[in-house]
Structure 1
Amino acid sequence: MTDSPVLRLVDTAFTHPGGAGVEGLRLDIAPGEAVALIGPNGAGKSTLLKGILGLVPRTAGTIEIGGVPGDAQAHARHGIVSFLPQSADLDPDFPISLEQVVMQGRYRGLGLFRWPGRADRAAVRHVLESVGLESLGARPFGELSGGQRQRGLLARALASEPRLLLLDEPFNGLDQPNREALVDTIRSLKRDGVAVLVSTHDLELARLVCDSVVLVNRTQVSCGPVDEVLTLGNIQECFEGVEVEIDEHTLVVPGHEGH
C-alpha cells in the first residue's frame, strides 16, 4: 500500500459565490484510512465535500487528488472519487430495479455508445454483495426499505471502483441493522485500500469505524487521530451551545467558562 495520500488539502478554502464556505483546511487521507468529518449543522461539511468534487470553488490553498495538484484535479477525479449525498435525486417510484440503479455507477467508465459488458455486470454483483443486497438485485428500487435504498445508492457509488469515497451523513435515519451493515462496508473498504471521508454527527460511530477526525465549524478546529481530537475542549469549541449525538443520546454541549 502506498504512503502517498489519496486526498491532500493544505490551507484550503471552499467558498460559495454567495460567500458562505469553510476555510483553513489541512488534511491528508491515506489509502485504507477512514476520516470522520464532524461539526454542527451549517458548519461547512457538505461544502467541503462538494469542494473536493469541484462543485464549490476553491478560493484559497491547494488540493491534490490522487497525487495530481491544483487545476488538474478534474482529470484526477475521473474514476478516483465517488460521492454518496445526503439525499439522492432518484425517485423511488421510478420503475427501475436495484441492479439497474447500481449499474449507473459504471456509466462514467463506459464511454459514449457502449453497453455494459460482462465486467460491468460482475462489478455490480460484487458491490451488491459487499453491501449485503446480493439477493435483491432484481427487486424494484421503490420496494426496498429506506435503509436498503441507502445501501443500494452506496453500492452505486462503489460501482465505479473509487479510490476515495465521500459520504455525507450516511447514517441518518438508518435502523440498527442497516447502521451495522454500513459500518461493516466501511471496514471492508478500508481493508481494500479505499480512502473514506464520512460526514457524521455521531461521535460514537466515528470512534467505531474511523481512524482520524477533522472537526470543522466554518474553519478547521482540529484534525488528527480520533482519541486526540475528540476531547471535551475541542468538542466545546466546535459545538458550543448546539446539539451533538453521543452514544445515541442527544446532548447540548456547554460553552467555555467566561463566555
Structure 2
Amino acid sequence: MTDRPVLRLRSAAFTHPGGAGVSGLDLDIRAGEAVALIGPNGAGKSTLLNGLLGLVPRTAGTVEYAGHPHAAVGMIGVLPQSADLDPDFPISLEQVVMQGRYRRLGLFRWPGRADRAAVADALAAVGLTELAKRRFGDLSGGQRQRGLLARALAGEPSLLLLDEPFNGLDQQNRDALIQTLRDLKARGVAVIVSTHDLELARLVCDTVVLVNGEQLAHGPVDDVLTLGNLQECFEGTEIEIDEHTLVVPGHEGH
C-alpha cells in the first residue's frame, strides 16, 4: 500500500438538483481497504456512489482520487443495484464482460490481446470462466450479478463501488461474492459497498460509514456496528438484527 489514499473526501457533499443529498463526508480509503456504507433508504448511500462517478454534483468540500481532483479513465468500477441489461438480449457473458473495456478502448479500436486477457481474468475472479460463451440471459440471477461484477473488474479499476450487491443472492452466490471481494482486497483494490448485510460488513470490510443525510460515524467495523449507533442512524424506525442482516421494516433491500 502507498501512503496516498485511493480516495479522500473532506467535508464533501453531493446534492441532487431537487435538494436531496448527503453531506459531511470525511474519509480516507486506501488500496486494499473495503468500506461498508450503511444507512436507511433515502439516506444518501446511492447519492454518494453516484457523486463519486460524477453523476450527482459535488456541492461542498473536496474529493481527491489518488491525489487528483478527477478520477482517471478506468479508475472506478461499479456494480449497480439493479441489472442494466435486458436478459432477453442475445449477448454472451463474455461479451457483457468485454463492455467493461470500452472506456479504455475508446472509439474505433477493436479489443486486442490485453483486452481479452483482462476479460478472462475478470471471469476467473468471479468463478465464471466455464460459462463465458453462455448467453447472459440464460444464467441464474446470481450468476448474472457475478457477471456484472466481472464487467466492472474488466476495466482493471483501483476503486470498486457496489450498490446492494447481495440483494436476492442464494448462499452459493453469496459465498462466491464474499471470496471475490476478499481476493480483490488482496490485490490492492479499494472497495465501497452499500449494504444492509452485516455479515458482509464483518467478513469483508475493514471500516464502516453510517449515513443518514450526513456522515454519522466512521471507523472499524466492531466499533461502529453497535446497536446504539444503528438505532441513531435509523432514528424513528424499529430495527432488528438477525443472523446476517439489518432488518428495517418498511424499507426495501434488507
- For the superposition of Structure 1 and Structure 2, which TM-score range results when normalised by the shorter chain? over 0.9
SS at match of 2:64: strand
Q: Name which of 169, 176, 186 aligns with 1:174.
A: 169
In 2, Cα distance between equivalents of 1:110 and 1:203: 38
| Displacement after TM superposition at 1:198 (Å) | 0.3
Which position in structure 1 is the counterpart of 2:232? 237
Q: Deviations over 1:187-243 (max 9, x none)?
A: 000000000000000112201110000000111110011111112221110023144
| Displacement after TM superposition at 1:248 (Å) | 3.4
Question: Does the 8 Å CA contact 2:77/2:153 hold for their aligned counterparts?
Answer: yes
Question: Does the 8 Å CA contact 1:3/1:31 hold for their aligned counterparts?
Answer: no
Which position in structure 1 is the counterpart of 2:252? none
Question: Does the 8 Å CA contact 1:6/1:29 hold for their aligned counterparts?
Answer: yes
Question: Does the 8 Å CA contact 1:39/1:239 hold for their aligned counterparts?
Answer: yes
Change in CA separation of 1:68 and 1:33 when aligned onto 2, cut-off 3 Å: same
SS at match of 1:40: coil
TM-score by length of 1: 0.93
In 2, Cα distance between equivalents of 1:16 and 1:252: 25
Amino acid at match of 1:61: G
Which position in structure 2 is the counterpart of 1:192? 187
Which position in structure 2 is the counterpart of 1:13? 13
Question: Does the 8 Å CA contact 2:160/2:192 hold for their aligned counterparts?
Answer: yes
SS at match of 1:165: strand
Structure 1 unaligned runs (5+)? 254-259
Q: Name which of 244, 248, 251 aligns with 1:248.
A: 244
Amino acid at match of 1:187: R
Structure 2 unaligned runs (5+)? 250-254
SS at match of 1:78: coil
| Displacement after TM superposition at 1:252 (Å) | 5.4
Q: Name which of 116, 131, 152 aligns with 1:121.
A: 116
In 2, Cα distance between equivalents of 1:230 and 1:3: 27
SS at match of 2:101: helix
Question: Does the 8 Å CA contact 2:93/2:135 hold for their aligned counterparts?
Answer: yes
| Displacement after TM superposition at 1:163 (Å) | 0.4
Counting aligned pairs with the same residue, the percent is: 74
Alignment of 1:38-53 (within 5 A): 38-53=38-53
SS at match of 2:165: coil
| Displacement after TM superposition at 1:96 (Å) | 0.3
In 2, Cα distance between equivalents of 1:26 and 1:18: 23
Question: Does the 8 Å CA contact 1:201/1:245 hold for their aligned counterparts?
Answer: no
SS at match of 2:228: helix
Query: Are positions 1:146 and 2:141 aligned together?
Result: yes
- Please identify, of 85-94 and 243-252, the stretch whose mean Cα deviation from structure 2 is larger: 243-252
In 1, Cα distance between equivalents of 2:128 and 2:172: 13
In 1, Cα distance between equivalents of 2:67 and 2:79: 22
Q: Deviations over 1:13-58 (max 9, x none)?
A: 1000000000111111100000000011111100000001110000
| Displacement after TM superposition at 1:122 (Å) | 1.1
Question: Does the 8 Å CA contact 1:202/1:246 hold for their aligned counterparts?
Answer: no
Aligned residues, how many? 248
Change in CA separation of 1:144 and 1:9 when aligned onto 2, cut-off 3 Å: same
Amino acid at match of 1:247: E
In 2, Cα distance between equivalents of 1:194 and 1:211: 13
SS at match of 1:151: helix
Which position in structure 2 is the counterpart of 1:223? 218
Q: Deviations over 1:134-181 (max 9, x none)?
A: 000000000000000000000000000000000000000000000010
Amino acid at match of 1:248: H
Amino acid at match of 1:182: L
Q: Deviations over 1:100-120 (max 9, x none)?
A: 000000111112111001111
